[in-house]
Structure 1
Amino acid sequence: MTVVQFAQFSSLVQPTFWHELSRVKLDVLRLSDDSVPLTATYSTGRTIKDRNTGQDVPLGCNISVGGESFSEDYSPPPNSITARGVLKNYNTIEEFKNADKRALFNKLSDEIWDSIIQNHDVAALTRFLLITFADLKKYKFYYWFAFPAFAAQPLWEIDDDWTTPEAHLSQDQLTSLAEQLSPTPPPFFLVRPAQDNTVETAPVNEFSTFFADVPQQSQTIGFLDPSAQASAPGWPLRNLLAYLRAVHPEATQTVRVLCWRGDAASSRIGVLRGGPVDADKPSAVGWEKNVQGKLGARVADLAPMMDPKRLADQAVDLNLKLMRWRILPSLDLDKIAQTRCLLLGAGTLGMLRCANAHGTLFLLTLGDQGWGIRKITLVDSGRVSFSNPVRQPLFEFDDCIDGGKPKAEAAAARLRKIFPGVDAEGVTLSIPMPGHPIPPGSEEQTKRSVKVLEDLFDAHDAVFLLMDSRESRWLPTVLGAAKGKIVLNAALGFDSYLVMRHGARENPADGTRRLGCYYCNDIVAPADSITDRTLDQMCTATAVELLVSLIQHPSGVQAPAPPPGQDPQQLQEVDQGGSVLGLVPHQLRGFLAQFRSMAIVGAAYDRCTGCSETVLKAYETQGFAMMLRAFNETGFLEALTGLDKLYAEGEQALEAVDWEEGADEDF
């Protein structure tokens, strides 16, 4: 007699499985290593014909997983069987390598055995285990399958050899059997002859009643065989035989087994003999061998098959999701990524933070804490000069040659080169400013520039004012307030800096005062501050973190500012419904000489030249005509807002004071 050889399962992993595992890791598991249910499928064994010899070559005893394997409601295709398993994904390659694989395997095999003994559960016979580590930055996956199967002692033997079913069943019986097993065959089944020269089938758990009056030589145990080898049935037969010997020991010392492979010509039948039954659980085997034929993990490297741009895009997202998993589980990354940012100014402000090399562009998209924002538009009127590359990292020496490339376009092109996943656009545009009169011949061009800027505001959600003069921020301030946009303002002096958000036009929160804008603290209208300015006064800073915190606040642009002078910890406890990133200050003023920062709240000023209702309504009703007067006419904004009356009242008050000559001689 010949010892029965079994064809072990060989895993067949579809590329869609790795893509779905990536999604499950990022969106479901995160840092958890909990087991995840998994569904695999296998079908009848198949062969291919060798072109040279004309011989049929059996394919492997394959069991397949794909993207649909994570769905517990997955229905297999016709003539296929589902196998239930578990996936355990590890967070690091070290955890994957050092995992107690023996304990995991023994746990699953114990569960299968308990299902056999206690519940007579046939569905548990094809359970499997998959352990993985997903290196999502490199899109490389380490994995190892285990298909626990019980080893009989002594081994099963076969009388003579495997034969085709015609040796045991008539043609009518085979036809009847094929009809009953198509198109959804059960994984395991019983067969007995019927009186009309056909056959009847039944589930394996009906063994005692179905074979009650059937002679043993007429009893057939069948299973859908994933093997195509002539003398080696597939792996599921091992656990089926273990089940029969454990549940029906007296009736299964000798069994006739049908390896059903879709049709009679491909199928095999053999009479097997087993040894005495051991009351203890038999040992189990089943770890899959790697491509070298050794017990060990396999590696699937999908990076060469993927678009490098997609790999970069996923790597950026992964960094953010790692931060969210460990620190801020409630952080809404999608809301951040979908925020469309308009950067007015592509100089030092747009690229460098005042004390280090993290820039607005880098913080929005790249950098150690890049926020993954995908849509960025840069606006600047200048060209790259020889002083720029050493201070502004998106420029290099070649950008300065032949008069210099346009700053905004050069910065956007370099950003796309660094991170292809960003939708970066550069717009060369000069922003009209109060105090800088428009010549009559340039009015139409200025009108077109204003229209371009208005359209840009409409197309974006957040605007950074990153220019290097006070008056250049006036028009964007008016547009931002009128259109209800998030406006972030940043400015840097020689030894101090300011980062602030402009208050919304209306605040529906009861009892909350409207926050001011960049101009609300001034009683001087913006005018020409560039002509006589020295080089040390032309520098700026960034406000990215303030934007992200504001985006995460449920009130968005209407978010209230924390009152100044209170303990930040107490404020955070009070504002439980606020931003998950903490407080959302109105202004941050820093003093570099003192290494000190202060959170300040400034109320809106009803005579503000930038955001007051008087200015906004004048813009909404008069449009460009109102702007042109602000650009050309000295004192127009003061007269419009009433600042001129304030000046007059101040002068009158000073004149009314009775100054005594020599009053300070005693000091």
Structure 2
Amino acid sequence: MPIVQFAPFSSLVEAGFWHALTNLKIDVLRLSDESLPITASYTAGRSVTDRETGQEIPLSCNLAVGADAFDASVQPPSHSVAATGTFKNFNTIEEFKAADKTALFNKAADEIWDNVLARRDPATLNRFLLITYADLKKYKYYYWFAFPALVAKPAWEITDGWKNAGDVLSNDVLKAIHGKVHQHPQPYFLVKTSGESVHIAPVSDYDTFFANVPPSSQTIAFLDPSALPDNPGWPLRNLLAYLRALHPSSTTTLRVLAWRDTELPAGTKSWKSRFGVLEVGEKGKEGEQEGRPAAVGWEKNVQGKLGPRVADLAPMMDPARLADQAVDLNLKLMRWRILPELDLDKVAGTRCLLLGAGTLGCYVARTLMGWGVRTITLVDSARVSFSNPVRQPLFEFEDCLNGGKPKAECAAERLRRIFPGVNATGHTLSIPMPGHPIPSPSTAQVQQDVARLEKLVGEHDVVFTLMDSRESRWLPTVVGAARGKIVMNAALGFDTFLVMRHGARASTSKAPEERLGCYYCNDIVAPSDSLTDRTLDQMCTVTRPGLASIAASTAVELLVSLLQHPDGLHAPAPPPQTGAEVADPSTSGSVLGLVPHQLRGFLAQFRNMHIRGAAYDRCTGCSETVLRAYETQGWTMLEQAFNDVKFLERLTGLDKLYDEGEAALESVDWDEDDDEM
């Protein structure tokens, strides 16, 4: 008699699976190569009709792996059954190639066989193995499936070939079977008939279900993924091995129904399911085999050879999505070996407002993007000039033509071109300054500008003050402190820089007596006009070219360290450095190390110095006196500060302090003849 030939499984991997694997590798597995459970599904065999010839063309015998393959709770699609497997990902292509594939395959086959003998449960007969290597930089995935099938020796034979099920079983019986398995398909099931009565049971009930049932009324059925007329699908191999191992005396001849009908056919002779009577070879009737039968099942590649396949997703992916995932990859790799506790989502979700789109603003924006920050808003009142592009990396020569493009909008556009995943916007806006009186015709416009700035500060988590002048930082300092925002400040000298984070407001500070100061806390006078009556070198920020990038990067790194600290804005600063003393980064509370208050850099010495400055209760920028006046009076208070250079000194009491100091000096009896003095 002809030997039964089986149609092997062919893997069908959805693109969503590779995206799921990418996320699993980056966020969960990292450098682990441990085996994980995985699920797949298959359905009844299908065919398509050739429009020209009218012939039925069978489709492949597919095992489908989807995006939810690593979620064991997900149910298989309609009319499908689940298959469970073992997944193992290797860290390098060399490990993937050198893996002991025979040992991995035998382990999977042993699990099938041991489960048959120990648990007598057919649920794991469809086990499979998937090994992979994911090249996440190129979005190439090397993979190899194995579908272990236990080999029967001698082979099963079929009498009279495979027939249409409608030619063997009555239409009523087939309809009854369809009604019982349509809603809840099963990979394997038993069928017994008594007249027109049909009963279904799981294969594990073989002994009791078929007790006292004549062989002519017993049928072994399985959901057949094959559509070939004479070749049942791969799952039948392990089902036959299961029955022979547990019921050798009653399974030398089996009536097998290969169920392929997910829908009722139009006519009685249109059933797609196949029926055959199988017999085990003569040697197989003599007794059971000792130990596990041999197994086969490695999938062949597209060339028809035993070997892995490659899925190259890069050509099919949206370039913007490729860039987005690549940015995340570079950052998430930090968590594999170096910083497992790094909270990248917190960084990415931080909305940053950059006041100033010049040299500092450009470098700060680029570094923020490098950290994965997705929302960057730039504010500037100037246009791109011919001196800008060589020092400000977001501008090009063409941006200077025809009077120059608005800096903020131009920088935001360039950020989006660099990385389409960033939400970058620009606003042309002048920030009013104390000590710079507002002309009467401009009052309404300035008031609108203040309202726009207040709205922008309220919509962001962090405010960077990156302007050229000292007094232009005052209004953002006040608004940021009043709104409880993180304010980061960077300022440049010729070969020195200052980077600092403003301390929390006194009313919200966890330790008011140790409250950190703001940019103006060391001043004993109000910020005044530093731009009028200045020579060209005094009006421009004249610095060594490399200083801005150093200061900007330092400011961003300080922000990220602050975001990783559990206290955030309220994070304490390390004590000031004395001599050769170095602070211990492990005691800072941030996974990235120290979170200093101020950093003063000296490029001539290539040295940085940590400074901790206490808040000043008469500060013109962050004192409660100023903040309460701003909150209660709003624009009225601000207008006075802009127009009256002495207003802030009077408000905070600095004028009295100054007078007291002058009076104290006047009261000293200076003896010019005293040599000791």
TM-score when scaled to structure 1? 0.92
Secondary structure, counterpart of 2:251 in structure 1 = coil
Residues 190 and 624 from structure 1, CA distance in 2 versus in 1: closer, same or farther, beyond 3 angstroms? closer
What 5-or-longer segments of structure 1 have no aligned partner?
A: 352-358
Identity %: 66
Distance 1:378 1:120 in 2: 68
Residues 1:271 and 2:277 aligned together:
yes
Q: 1:223 Cα deviation (Å)?
A: 1.3
- Deviation of 1:440 after TM superposition, in Å, equals 2.4
Aligned partner letter, 2:599: L
Range moving further from structure 2, 306-315 or 128-137: 128-137
8 Å CA contact 1:7–1:61 kept in 2: the answer is yes
Q: Distance in 2 between matches of 1:175 and 1:245?
A: 29
Give distance in 1, aligned partners of 2:212 and 2:632.
Answer: 98
C-alpha distance in 2 between matches for 1:207 and 1:442: 93
Equivalent residue for 1:550, pick from 548, 562, 565: 562
Residue aligning to 1:513: 514
1:58 counterpart residue number: 58
In structure 2, do the counterparts of structure 1 residues 469 and 244 end up closer, same or farther at CA, with 3 Å as the change threshold?
Answer: same
Q: Which sits farther off after the overlay, 507-516 or 418-427?
A: 507-516
Whichever residue aligns with residue 284 of structure 1, its letter is A
2:526–2:645 Cα contact (<8 Å) kept: no
2:267 counterpart residue number: none
What's the CA shift for 1:215? 4.4
Partner of 1:151: 151
Residues 291-330 of structure 1 mapped to structure 2, 5 A cutoff:
291-330=302-341
Change (3 A) 1:363 1:223: same
Provide the C-alpha distance between the structure 1 equivalents of 2:358 and 2:584, rounded to a whole number of angstroms.
39
1:421 and 2:435 equivalent?
Answer: no
CA distance in 2, matches of 1:96, 1:453: 56
Q: Partners in 2 of 1:120 and 1:272 — Cα distance?
A: 22
Task: Give the Cα separation in 2 of the matches to 1:222 and 1:511.
Answer: 78
For 1:564, which of 549, 559, 576 is the aligned residue?
Answer: 576
Q: Deviations over 1:303-337 (max 9, x none)?
A: 34333222211221222222123322222222211
RMSD: 2.3
Shift, 1:394, TM fit: 0.8
Q: Which runs of 5+ in 2 are unaligned?
A: 265-269
Q: Which amino acid aligns with 1:210?
A: F
Partners in 1 of 2:652 and 2:516 — Cα distance? Answer: 18
Deviation at 1:569, TM superposition (A): 5.7
In structure 2, relative to structure 1, the CA distance for the partners of 1:170 and 1:643 (3 Å cut) is: closer
Tell me, yes or no, if the aligned pair for 2:585 and 2:593 is still in contact at 8 Å.
no
Mapping of 1:468-617 within 5 angstroms?
A: 468-506=468-506, 507-510=508-511, 512-531=513-532, 532=534, 534=537, 537-539=541-543, 540=548, 541-542=551-552, 543-565=555-577, 570=584, 572-573=586-587, 575=588, 578-617=589-628
Deviation of 1:174 after TM superposition, in Å, equals 3.5
Work out whether residues 138 and 311 of structure 1, in 8 Å CA contact, stay in contact via their aligned partners in 2: no
* Alignment deviations for residues 59-117 of structure 1 (CA, whole Å, 9 cap, x no partner): 11112122233322222344322111122233343433333322221111111111112
- TM-aligned CA deviation for residue 396 of structure 1: 0.9
Cα distance in 1, alignment partners of residues 387 and 16 from structure 2? 50
Aligned length: 651
- Report deviation, 1:171: 4.3
Q: How far 1:491 moved relative to its partner? A: 1.2
Instruction: Give the partner amino acid of 2:193.
Output: P
CA distance in 2 between counterparts of 1:490 and 1:420 reads 27
Counterpart residue type for residue 409 of structure 1: E
Q: Secondary structure at the match of 1:627?
A: helix
TM superposition shift of 1:420: 0.7
- TM-superposed deviation, 1:570: 4.9
Distance 1:172 1:428 in 2: 79
Secondary structure class of the residue paired with 1:256: strand
Query: Can you list the C-alpha shifts for 1:463-495, whole angstroms capped at 9, x where unaligned?
Result: 001111111111111111122111001112122
Structure 2 equivalent of residue 378 of structure 1? 378
Aligned to 1:354: none
Contact 1:137–1:311, Cα closer than 8 Å, also in 2 = no
Q: Which amino acid aligns with 2:426?
A: G
Task: Report if aligned partners of 1:137, 1:314 keep a CA contact under 8 Å in 2.
Answer: no
Q: Which moved more, 1:478-487 or 1:253-262?
A: 253-262
